[in-house]
């Protein structure tokens, strides 16, 4: 146990998955996943449909716990804690490891209340403090200028791209260390997508990001490291530039050159 912990406390390692297997009942969706995510980097997970990218992402903040038949083996260390340890506080884990989904999912309430939602749940009540958190989070999510005059209007009235940045602001408001993004721009037009990508590059200065994407161009544009998944295994994990220009495995080369998937 001590040696595992020691490995996980490398200063620049935010997430350390070690020999992770995931099952849905008898079906094994992930096989022996080993992955080290570096702090303040964007790590992209790519691969054909059904290869296990979302399963792995969701395993990182225990989003799969409620799925019937879900079972995980191996270790996942985040901030020196084995997140599947029985002593882990899951509410705290999800605060520390926020998640943004493919479809923006603002709550049916005002823009302000969406962002204040998490801090309120965590016990912050003073209006002045909430006002500050809401402004800071919206500024960080590059949305403040577009919504500052209608903070109390419904979030549902925002465009798809604005809704996705609002969801990011909602995640930032509880001060996570890590942000997981599951195809965050796949439902957006190219301009809204470019804004999300710009935002990711800005956010990595303060946060660690893991993003699932179907777009290899997007992975190449935003990520520092890329993991290529195939049939529930990581075929190759490397610096993004290297993976796309000089892949070490035939399967990686076939995928990035569009020969399958």
User: What is the contact surface with ligand ATP in residues (CB under 6 A)?
Assistant: 24, 27, 29, 47, 49-55, 67
Shortest Cβ 202–ligand ATP spacing (Å): 26
CA atoms lying within 13 Å on the CB side of residue 245: 6
Residue with Cβ nearer ligand ATP (140 or 255): 255
DSSP 207: S
Neighbours of 57 (CB within 10 A): 20
Q: Enumerate the β-bridge partners of residue 229.
A: 234
Residue with Cβ nearer ligand ATP (26 or 145): 26
Residue with Cβ nearer ligand ATP (122 or 259): 259
Nearest to 204 by CA among 183, 176, 182, 163: 176
Shortest Cβ 131–ligand ATP spacing (Å): 38
Q: Are 83 and 90 in contact (CB under 8 A)?
A: no
Shortest Cβ 74–ligand ATP spacing (Å): 16
Shortest Cβ 258–ligand ATP spacing (Å): 16
Residue with Cβ nearer ligand ATP (50 or 157): 50
Q: What separation, in Å, do the N-terminal and C-terminal C-alpha atoms of the chain show? A: 39
Shortest Cβ 255–ligand ATP spacing (Å): 12
- Sheet holding 81-82: strands in order across? 27-38, 13-24, 70-78, 81-82
Residue with Cβ nearer ligand ATP (30 or 166): 30
């Amino acid at each position: 146990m001590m040696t595992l912990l020691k490995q996980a406390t490398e200063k620049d390692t935010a997430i350390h998955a070690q020999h992770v297997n995931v099952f849905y009942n008898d079906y094994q969706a992930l096989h022996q996943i080993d992955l080290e995510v570096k702090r303040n980097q964007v790590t992209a997970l790519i691969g054909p449909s059904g290869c296990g990218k979302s399963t792995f992402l969701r395993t990182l903040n225990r989003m799969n716990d409620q799925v019937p038949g879900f079972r995980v083996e191996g270790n996942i260390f985040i901030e020196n804690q084995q997140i599947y340890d029985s002593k882990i506080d899951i509410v705290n884990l999800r605060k520390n490891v926020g998640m943004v989904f493919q479809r923006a999912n603002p709550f049916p309430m005002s823009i302000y209340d969406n962002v204040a939602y998490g801090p309120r749940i965590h016990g912050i009540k003073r209006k002045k403090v909430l006002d500050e958190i809401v402004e800071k989070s919206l500024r960080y999510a590059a949305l403040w200028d577009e919504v500052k005059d209608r903070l109390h209007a419904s979030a549902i009235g925002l465009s798809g791209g604005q809704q996705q940045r609002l969801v990011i602001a909602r995640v930032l408001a509880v001060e996570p260390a890590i942000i997981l993004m599951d195809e965050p721009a796949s439902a957006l037009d190219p301009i809204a997508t470019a804004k999300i990508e710009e935002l990711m590059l800005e956010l990595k200065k303060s946060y660690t990001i893991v993003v699932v994407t179907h777009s290899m161009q997007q992975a190449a544009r935003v990520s520092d490291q890329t993991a290529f998944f195939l049939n529930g295994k990581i075929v190759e994990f490397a610096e993004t530039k290297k993976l796309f220009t000089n892949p070490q495995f035939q399967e990686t080369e076939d995928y990035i050159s569009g020969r399958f998937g």
